[in-house]
Amino acid sequence: MKNTALLKKHLLFIIIAVSMLVAPLFTNAYQLRILISAALAMIFAMSLNLLMGIGGTVSFGHAAFYSIGAYTTAVLWYHFKTPYSTNFIPVILITGLAGLLLSLPMSRITGRYVTIITLSFAEIVNLIIKNWDPVTLGQMGIVGIPSVNLFGHVLKDKREFFYLTMLFVILTYIIMNWLVDSKLGRNLRAISNDAIAAEAMGIKIFPYKVIVFTISAIFAGIAGSLYAHLMSYVEPATFNANLSFECISMVVIGGLGNFAGTMVGALFLKILPEYLRQFEFLFKYRMIAYGLVLVIVMWINHSIPGTKLKNAISTRISALFRKKSAEAEEV
């Protein structure tokens, strides 16, 4: 009984995870690369969903953490030639610290100011990366980053890289679910539902903001660090505001607080542009599709896999029929 409930709750996740895991049997190298970038986007977007859907804070600068993760591993490789497995801990520490730093002003800041603080933070991080030439090589970026090296084993085969990424995707999903069903997750949801009532229940808001920003930043950083090794180069221009907006879109399409939905959103927004690539005109204007999807999802009801869409459609259809039958009766 309990197991069926559990299965039902995670059904969407299981479907996506299983089909992703078997996909490399059928894909060519190019398609595999798209799948890897979709998997990275899943980790990145799930980390933002923790902040938005559970923590109730819309971050417009989430790309900052992604770029910090990517640059940490890239810079360490460039200067010290350290492998990925060695860089992993610094990636977690530095992105976590960045998240903590961004959460500090949040103690006194609500709503609208969060937007500008997160935007400005991302802008500043990008400017530092762009101008700190001795460390980040500035505008040029760092090139020639080798593939992931796990304790001496280099993942030369992209399939290996894919499965490592999927391992992180599954881990992220599981940890997010553990978190949501715990005291931490409940209190976070309570704060985002009604901060005043949460305070009345004895929840101190500020420490929770610090925690949620830190955790969210760490997962975004992990995704970023894998990105650096996938692409084999990093440059500041990649990590612009559009990356943050794209991430928000993935979360929004999947539904706030719905992590399996976020995976659908990431998959959708990563595969759609590639699909459009065959139509030159559509590919040129593919970002319009992103924009339209955002507006339309907001119209309908903020979530595609959720029940809300089904409800919205069914009520609209039934309304249509009612209208028709009413007209018929009048005649």
Binding site for another protein (CB under 8 A): 58, 104-105, 108-113, 115-117, 119-121, 123-124, 127-128, 130-131, 175, 178-179, 182-187, 189-190, 193-194, 196-204, 207-208, 211, 215, 241-242, 245, 248-249, 252, 284-288, 290-295, 298-299, 302
With respect to another protein, which residue has the nearer C-beta, 86 or 115?
Answer: 115
Pairing of strands 149-150, 233-234: unpaired
Pair of tokens at residue 113: 């100011």
Minimal distance in Å, beta carbon 130 to another protein?
Answer: 8
With respect to another protein, which residue has the nearer C-beta, 160 or 274?
Answer: 274
Q: Which long-range contacts (CB under 8 A, 24 or more apart) does 109-115 make?
A: 110/195, 114/57, 114/58, 114/59, 115/58, 115/60
95 CB contacts (<8 Å, ≥6 apart)?
65, 68, 69, 72, 217, 218, 220, 221, 222, 224
Minimal distance in Å, beta carbon 110 to another protein?
Answer: 7
* Residues 114, 115, 117, 119, CA torsion sign: positive
With respect to another protein, which residue has the nearer C-beta, 23 or 282?
Answer: 282
118 CB contacts (<8 Å, ≥6 apart)?
58, 59, 60, 61, 62, 102
With respect to another protein, which residue has the nearer C-beta, 1 or 328?
Answer: 1
With respect to another protein, which residue has the nearer C-beta, 94 or 188?
Answer: 188
Minimal distance in Å, beta carbon 194 to another protein?
Answer: 5
Minimal distance in Å, beta carbon 252 to another protein?
Answer: 5
CB 303 within 8 A of CB 254: yes
With respect to another protein, which residue has the nearer C-beta, 123 or 160?
Answer: 123
Minimal distance in Å, beta carbon 62 to another protein?
Answer: 13
281 to 191, 270, 272, 278, 285: CA distances (angstroms): 45, 18, 14, 9, 7
Strand partners, 233: 143
The C-alpha atoms of residue 58 and residue 257 are separated, in whole angstroms, by 12
From 147, 148, 158, select the one nearest 27 (Cα to Cα): 158
Minimal distance in Å, beta carbon 271 to another protein?
Answer: 18
With respect to another protein, which residue has the nearer C-beta, 12 or 241?
Answer: 241
Minimal distance in Å, beta carbon 199 to another protein?
Answer: 5
Pairing of strands 153-154, 142-143: unpaired
With respect to another protein, which residue has the nearer C-beta, 98 or 198?
Answer: 198
CB 24 within 8 A of CB 241: no
7 to 135, 209, 264: CA distances (angstroms): 48, 31, 18
Minimal distance in Å, beta carbon 128 to another protein?
Answer: 8
